[in-house]
Structure 1
């Protein structure tokens, strides 16, 4: 890596049947593991509340000015570590931990229906699966229209696409917190590598 980078990684608090949220446990494990000596890693636990997300995300961007923000959430249906390609603006009908739901049922009024991450998730998926990590990674286009999707869209909107979302399965189904942390580390390092390459390509095109 060329210069120091700042990465913010978030997990969610418990909700519903997830009395222990695998995403936050995995993120705390990642914090212990560290990313790379040239990467400053900051972690935060996100409340499962629409209004709290609206306040928290801008404050994380303003405080750390990260190169990348990666949100991690748990999916009871997931059996792999899943990279989400995009966030959706509409369809938020489920009540959050405060029994609240946005009246407009959308993240950003007047915003585009769908925002894609600038990171090529297929490429990250291929690279991590080829690295012999022992954790299977897959790709998805639907983050579920709840707080995960809501957080992802809001973050993509704030960052012009410099955000990512990773769904993890519940702990022990089949991976441990340590397995998930190793997978997150490999995924985030690949993402940073791709962002670097994109930046170089950008410079090359400008300098011709």
Structure 2
């Protein structure tokens, strides 16, 4: 039986503040050019740096594409490595977006938990990518910065029940080129898929075992 293709959505952000070219979108476009192989149906899109746009775009991405995984990529002027974010935060959104807006409540979801973790163990992914000598250094963070990156990540974790990931990339040439970032992103997402596949097959095994219990 042909396994159906895995549907993966990967997003980057539009330019904002001092980031006249947003390296996250450059990296995502490079990833699209490289592809994730025959078994993966990859959909990419550019996300506006606006809270309200994120609120309307993300539910439609999850609903329309029914992805197994959504990976958001954002730029961080502080990053010098490709940084895997483990969790998204609900509160603390005071910084104004590209429309000079911020949520009155300063949070994502009025009734949501303070923090939602990805079901993916970023430490494992980080170690595997660093051990594979791609020439790109990966690190892990637990603070996505309380701006649109964090806001988007939390929203996706909430909508996707943890089946989301966030990757911060440095600005271009600090130290990586767009091509480097695309390669790094591909390596990271492939490890994410390996990890997801591992946890899925464990669930399937358990289900199969249970079916045998029944007379």
- The answer to whether residue 63 in structure 2 is matched with residue 57 in structure 1 is no
Name the structure 1 match of 2:213. none
Question: Aligned partners of 1:192, 1:17: CA distance in 2, in Å?
Answer: 33
Q: Secondary structure at the match of 2:84?
A: strand
CA RMSD of aligned residues (A): 1.1
- The answer to whether residue 12 in structure 2 is matched with residue 11 in structure 1 is yes
Question: Aligned partners of 2:54, 2:64: CA distance in 1, in Å?
Answer: 15
Name the structure 1 match of 2:131. 130
- The answer to whether residue 55 in structure 2 is matched with residue 32 in structure 1 is no
Kindly report which structure 2 residues correspond to 1:27-106, keeping only aligned pairs within 5 A, or say none. Answer: 27-106=28-107
Q: Secondary structure at the match of 2:135?
A: coil
TM-score with structure 2 length normalisation?
A: 0.95
TM-score with structure 1 length normalisation?
A: 0.98
| Count of aligned positions | 208
**Cα shift readout 1:55-102 (whole Å, capped 9, x = no counterpart):** 000111111111100000000000000000000000000000000000
Larger radius of gyration, structure 1 or 2? 2
Structure 1 stretches of 4+ with a deviation exceeding 6 A read none
Question: Aligned partners of 2:115, 2:132: CA distance in 1, in Å?
Answer: 31
Kindly report which structure 2 residues correspond to 1:115-154, keeping only aligned pairs within 5 A, or say none. Answer: 115-154=116-155
Q: Which runs of 5+ in 1 are unaligned?
A: none
**Cα shift readout 1:125-144 (whole Å, capped 9, x = no counterpart):** 00000001000000000000
Question: Aligned partners of 1:43, 1:3: CA distance in 2, in Å?
Answer: 19
Q: Which runs of 5+ in 2 are unaligned?
A: 211-215
